[in-house]
Amino acid sequence: MRTIENIKSGKNYAAVNVGRMDQIIEHELPMGPNVIQGKVFVGQALGVTGSELSFQTLVPGQDSGFLHTHKTHEELYFILKGEGLYQVDGEQFVVSEGTVIRVSPEGKRALKNTGTTDMVMLCIQYRANAFTEADSPMTDGNILPDALTW
């Protein structure tokens, strides 16, 4: 079983390594009496305060195992490798490397690998409707005059 490696942390940051994308399958996530092979949540290891994120590998023919919704969390799914089908609210569409999907908390969702190689995805979940126009990355960021010191 692979574990998250803590790289370095400080007052304002934390860095971890989950392994190469082809090693995500080596992670195990206990969920009640079951263990999900190939899934790892990373938020707690990073000390994330506004979202959660997970990586998951689905082998050829594997699906996510169940439909699910959330109470308050919207999700973004990033397909990093492979291809398959995504299902939300009874509709299905093809996904592949580079596909990004946003699903509202109420969306009934599932993912299936229909390809011949492993599918790797990153999922970020966060509280829905938390951002306003004032949270635009164009207005929230501050470019500092400090010189870069590589």
Residue 147, domain member (yes or no): no
Which residues 6+ apart lie within 8 Å of 82 measured at CB?
Answer: 58, 96, 97, 113, 115, 117, 118, 119, 120
The answer, as to whether pTM is greater than 0.75, is yes
For residue 46, the surrounding DSSP H or E stretch is: helix 43-46
Instruction: State which residues form the domain around 14.
Output: 5-130
* pLDDT tens digit at each of 150 positions of the chain: 999 999 999 999 999 999 999 999 999 999 889 899 999 999 999 999 999 999 999 999 999 989 999 999 999 999 999 999 999 999 999 999 999 999 999 999 999 999 999 999 999 999 999 988 888 888 888 889 999 999
CATH code of the domain containing 98? 2.60.120.10
DSSP state of 1: -
Structural domain total, the chain: 1
Contact 68, 88 (CB under 8 A): no
Give the residue among 72, 143, 80 at the shortest CA–CA distance from 107.
72
> Does 146 fall in a domain?
no
